[in-house]
Structure 1
Amino acid sequence: MELLVKHDLIYGQLMEVIEPHLIERYNKALEAFGLPGTKLTRFRIDMTGFSPEIAEEMDDQQYLDPNAVNRRFIILTPAQESLPVVHTSFSNTGSLMHAFFQANRRAIHAVTIRDVLYGEIGEDVAQVEDIEDLLSIQEVNFHVLTADNMLGKAEELRKLCDRLLGSPNAWRDDAMIDRMVELAKETGDIRQNDLVPDQVVFRHEAFWSGHFGGIFVFLDGKSTTVICDPQAPGFRRSRPWQVSYIPLDDHERIFEFLRRTGRIELPHASWIEQSGYIDHRTDMLLLSLIRKHDPDVRFDRVDAIWLQTWIHRNAKAVTEDGGYPFLQSADRHIRAEGSFPVDDADAKDLFLLVRAKPDHEDCWLTNRLLSVLVPSDFVSRFVFDKQGFYEHYESYSEDFRAHVVKTLSNTYLRDKKAFRRRLYGFEEEENDA
Structure 2
Amino acid sequence: MKRLIQHGLMFGGLFEVASPALIERYNRALEHLTGKRTTLDHFHIDLSGFSPEVGDELDDMDYLNPGGCNRQIILLSTRQREAPLLEMKFSTSAQIIRDFIARNEAQLFTLTARDAVAGELQNSVYSVADPAHLLDIRTVTVEADTTTGVVRDAAKLDTLIRRFREEEDAWWDDVLVSKMIGLAQATGDVTRAPVTFETASFQQDDFWTAHHGGVYVFRSVGSKAVLANRPFPAPGIEVIDLSMRNVVATFLQMNNLVQPIVEGRGVAAADILREKLEHLAIDALGHAGHLPDAVSDRALRRAMQVHAAVLPPEVHALGAMLAWAEGRGAWPRIDSANPAYFHTLRAAPGPLRDLTNMLLAELAPQDFRQLHICHKPLFYARYAASPDTLKTWVAERLATDYAADRDGVWAHLYASDVTHPVPKVQKRVKGPWG
Q: TM-score, normalised by structure 1?
A: 0.89
Distance in structure 1 (CA, Å) of the matches to 2:352 and 2:321: 26
Q: 1:166 to 1:41 in 2, by over 3 A?
A: same
2:315 counterpart letter in structure 1: Y
- Per the alignment, residue 394 of structure 1 pairs with 384
1:243 aligns with 2:244: no
1:310 aligns with 2:300: no
Is 1:73–1:118's contact at 8 Å kept on the other side of the alignment? Answer: yes
Of 379, 402, 410, which aligns to 1:420? Answer: 410
Runs of 4+ deviating beyond 6 Å = none
CA deviation vs aligned residue, 1:120-156 (integer Å, no higher than 9, x gap): 1111221112321111100012232331111222122
1:352 aligns with 2:343: yes
Distance in structure 2 (CA, Å) of the matches to 1:83 and 1:423: 23
1:127 aligns with 2:127: yes
Q: 1:176-325 counterparts in 2 under 5 A?
A: 176-221=176-221, 223-229=223-229, 231-232=230-231, 235=232, 237-239=233-235, 242-266=236-260, 268-270=262-264, 273-275=267-269, 276-293=271-288, 295=289, 297-304=291-298, 306-318=299-311, 321-325=312-316
Q: 1:17 to 1:301 in 2, by over 3 A?
A: closer
Q: CA deviation at 1:166?
A: 1.1
CA-atom RMSD, angstroms? 2.5
Q: TM-score, normalised by structure 2?
A: 0.88
Is 2:217–2:225's contact at 8 Å kept on the other side of the alignment? Answer: yes
Q: 1:224 to 1:42 in 2, by over 3 A?
A: same
* SS across alignment from 2:69: coil
Q: 1:170 to 1:345 in 2, by over 3 A?
A: closer
Q: CA deviation at 1:340?
A: 5.2
The count of corresponding residues between Structure 1 and Structure 2 is: 417
Q: 1:149-164 counterparts in 2 under 5 A?
A: 149-164=149-164
Distance in structure 1 (CA, Å) of the matches to 2:195 and 2:265: 48
Distance in structure 1 (CA, Å) of the matches to 2:222 and 2:308: 50
- Per the alignment, residue 406 of structure 1 pairs with 396
CA deviation vs aligned residue, 1:25-47 (integer Å, no higher than 9, x gap): 22222222233111112211111
User: Percent of pairs identical after alignment?
Assistant: 28
Q: 1:410 to 1:317 in 2, by over 3 A?
A: closer
Q: 1:238 to 1:7 in 2, by over 3 A?
A: same
* SS across alignment from 1:36: coil
CA deviation vs aligned residue, 1:370-420 (integer Å, no higher than 9, x gap): 111112111111111111111111122333222211111111110111111
Distance in structure 2 (CA, Å) of the matches to 1:153 and 1:367: 44
Q: 1:159-178 counterparts in 2 under 5 A?
A: 159-178=159-178
- Per the alignment, residue 39 of structure 1 pairs with 39
Greater CA deviation, 380-389 or 122-131? 122-131
Higher relative contact order (CA 8 A, sep 6+): 2
Greater CA deviation, 329-338 or 399-408? 329-338
Greater CA deviation, 162-171 or 326-335? 326-335
1:100 aligns with 2:93: no
CA deviation vs aligned residue, 1:3-41 (integer Å, no higher than 9, x gap): 222221111111111232332222222222233111112
1:238 counterpart letter in structure 2: A
Q: 1:336 to 1:149 in 2, by over 3 A?
A: same
Structure 2: which 5+ residue stretches go unaligned? 418-430
Distance in structure 2 (CA, Å) of the matches to 1:271 and 1:48: 43
Is 2:265–2:324's contact at 8 Å kept on the other side of the alignment? Answer: no
- Per the alignment, residue 66 of structure 2 pairs with 66
1:324 counterpart letter in structure 2: V
